[in-house]
Structure 1
């Protein structure tokens, strides 16, 4: 099977190399409106005989139970943050922060500390380039009750590049195939998915992306691809710049969905409104949201109201969310969480925005200090803080537009434990 995969890889990559447009342009950090990605053109030989909807996609049932997902973000989507998201609403697929496969292989008893409780709709994202280590890690994920594993083929951070994984893997599609085939070989039967970019460095033509998806989907069991609608530059741009300088090219992902109607395609990159969600879900199977949820977790309540049409009385208020999270914190304390107080409490930081959000974060930072304070004492002080501030139980859906904020109004441990995403979104 491996030799067949390599033969397929060689032929497809050869065709891709012959047909793709290689650009010599360098990353432009001053003008994000220009793109070096070639205009998407459908490769010859693609079957276009399917009955299509007005959007161009065949009529198929929704393939994802919860088509709206929270993106994996290093140092953000911790097990505690994902639990907060689940408290806000159960209607979303939640991706863990990327964990390197070696962390699991060397510490197989720590999966709960890495990922929290396994539940339906939680996807574990793994990073790494060694097929055997990735396979061992994926098998551990499966054996510990998690329901899906995602392979990171899109993170451009220097640390990830040094380890030759993340977006680096997009340059050698056969390596991605080797990783996934090794996972299958050791008995991984839960769904394996791939998160990638629309291009990397000069490998940014639609033909190259098409051949990448075709190779992986025809030589492995992968049928679901999460595609960030930006290319990335491995040299010349920081992780932060890679989230904004390369322009978003949604039409590239839409074309993938049209050209691979039998695959599940989720789009990622820059979404922050219900209108965008509705529009995208007419064109692709799923949509992934990252920074908006990081800055304002209560955005999920807004989507519940605006997209899912959930009545306001069935949507939890911010205060109800906080109280439920505090109960979770006490449970984590009883379990003996190895995480610092700041890491456990960090998800609460961005629940209010504007002027009162600044005051809320100042008081929250004070409530978790000093570092030696016990979690039960922190819970007590946060409850007292909420009583003193008397927010009155305003439902989150009605004020989610104003929630969240990016003010750096404190140098506390709480600030250090949040908003440090490495760009792997």
Structure 2
């Protein structure tokens, strides 16, 4: 989700619903260590429920980065040991760290030694390359949890191949093995186990919450952010009249854009406006995205002009008059408040 779950995208998600734990894109620890005054530009405003994902393999640099995150007011840090991209392989972090669990332990212990007291969680795969047996995963979780005190693991239910598959293929080619994560939850009843991978209906999410402690939703939220509103209706007992329409979400987001502009946050027009792209589906959604792309160009166009033109475009397209709103996934039964964690953005 690098370059997707930016601070701007997370703010859009929070406008849609405040009821989810949101994970930032993974940022390498050195980016923070070398730019300690730029954390707001990386992650946006700190709030309860925003988790900063860090990548890296140097325990001291990771510890410095985590301390900066804590000192700037962020409430939780996540160590990503599941990303399979070529960039993380070259830097020997991400999923590579699953091969060296002692390094993961050293990183977390170093974080604690420099005074990081906020929660630390670990996001991993069920396996990597030939290290894909359940015994290996069990030992990995046991070592980290017993030596560091980490008690929350977010587990992507696919293994990954660091050689031979692209990051995109690693999201689809290795089969999903949910039963492996279910077994972890049984074997480690004192840990919080969140499952990740392929969840795109409220029925599928509900099924998981009877077997594990939480569900992380990634690609579905990227492709259809208003899915969060659908999950709200099904799992958080939010009444329809309290769910924002897509038009209300756009209006609030444009207010945020102007606030960031006046603050002087140094991001390009395309990055700031990108979160709005996938709010509408169908044929009207295609027209909406075509017109939005045209509004953003040229790159030198002042952001206030883009906001003004976007507001005019929304009036012309008159989505409100066509009865738009949170999309349904044909799963309308409401099971009330669910005592489990729902996370967005892998």
Which TM-score band (shorter chain)? over 0.9
Partner of 1:300: 228
Name the CA distance, whole Å, in 2 between partners of 1:238 and 1:212: 25
Partner of 1:372: 300
Preserved contact between residue 156 and residue 234 of structure 1 (Cα < 8 Å)? yes
> Which stretches in structure 1 are left out of the alignment for 5+ residues?
1-72, 403-423
1:320 and 2:268 matched: no
Q: Where does 1:2-401 land on structure 2 (aligned, <5 Å)? A: 73-392=1-320, 394=323, 396-397=325-326, 399-401=327-329
Partner of 2:339: none
Preserved contact between residue 123 and residue 146 of structure 1 (Cα < 8 Å)? yes
Name the CA distance, whole Å, in 2 between partners of 1:401 and 1:267: 21
Name the CA distance, whole Å, in 2 between partners of 1:381 and 1:369: 12
Preserved contact between residue 202 and residue 329 of structure 2 (Cα < 8 Å)? no
Preserved contact between residue 301 and residue 400 of structure 1 (Cα < 8 Å)? no
Instruction: Give the superposition deviation at 1:370.
Output: 1.4
Partner of 1:406: none
Preserved contact between residue 230 and residue 328 of structure 2 (Cα < 8 Å)? yes
TM-score of the aligned structures, taking structure 1 as reference length: 0.77
Change (3 A) 1:295 1:281: same
Instruction: Give the superposition deviation at 1:400.
Output: 4.6
Preserved contact between residue 78 and residue 115 of structure 1 (Cα < 8 Å)? yes
Partner of 1:70: none
Instruction: Give the superposition deviation at 1:395.
Output: 5.0
Name the CA distance, whole Å, in 1 between partners of 2:100 and 2:236: 40
SS at match of 1:124: strand
SS at match of 1:108: coil
Name the CA distance, whole Å, in 1 between partners of 2:236 and 2:66: 33
SS at match of 1:309: coil
Preserved contact between residue 301 and residue 396 of structure 1 (Cα < 8 Å)? no
Name the CA distance, whole Å, in 2 between partners of 1:383 and 1:274: 32
State the aligned residue count. Answer: 331
Preserved contact between residue 312 and residue 395 of structure 1 (Cα < 8 Å)? no
SS at match of 1:85: helix
Name the CA distance, whole Å, in 2 between partners of 1:377 and 1:239: 37
Partner of 1:45: none
Name the CA distance, whole Å, in 1 between partners of 2:236 and 2:64: 38
Instruction: For residues 201-248 of structure 1, give each alpha carbon's deviation from its aligned partner in whole angstroms, at most 9, with x where no partner exists.
Output: 011110000000000000002100000000000111111111111100
Name the CA distance, whole Å, in 2 between partners of 1:347 and 1:193: 26
Preserved contact between residue 266 and residue 284 of structure 1 (Cα < 8 Å)? yes
Instruction: Give the superposition deviation at 1:304.
Output: 1.0
Preserved contact between residue 41 and residue 265 of structure 2 (Cα < 8 Å)? yes
TM-score of the aligned structures, taking structure 2 as reference length: 0.94
